[in-house]
Amino acid sequence: MLFKDALGGVVRDLRTNKQLALREVAGDLLSFNYLSEIERGKKEPSSSVLKIIANGLGVEAHDLIIEAGYRMAEAKVAVPDTAESLFVRSDNWFRQYEDLSL
């Protein structure tokens, strides 16, 4: 699976789960036709376009990237409907590495 396919699926699934139209997510800063191409895996967005999409969805851009990575790895990760449930790193993430000597 290519990144653009995985990312497009994440964006589409999150948008439909939130019951948002393409025009709502795209807003005034992005063509809804371009957003549709991204969702279908036809285009790969730049980081600035990804930020616009994330803002339209009410999530962080890095969370979209993380979810796309899970899909590329074929992990069974459901697309959450809140930004909080998308975030995979806890506040105490560093504790999992405390036994490693640096």
| Residues 24-38 pLDDT 10s | 999 999 999 999 999
d(CA 4, CA 43): 7
Number of other CB atoms surrounding residue 100 within 10 Å: 6
Mean pLDDT of the 28-52 span? 95
pLDDT value at 56 more than 80: yes
| Residues 65-94 pLDDT 10s | 999 988 888 755 555 556 555 555 545 544
Which CATH superfamily hosts domain 3-97? lambda repressor-like DNA-binding domains (1.10.260.40)
Q: Which of 58, 45, 36, 31 is nearest to 3 (CA)?
A: 45
- The residue ranges of every structural domain in the chain are 3-97
| Residues 10-27 pLDDT 10s | 999 999 999 999 999 999
d(CA 67, CA 88): 9
Top-confidence residue, 63 or 96: 63
d(CA 25, CA 21): 7
C-beta contacts of 60-63 below 8 A and 24+ residues apart: 60/86, 60/87, 63/87
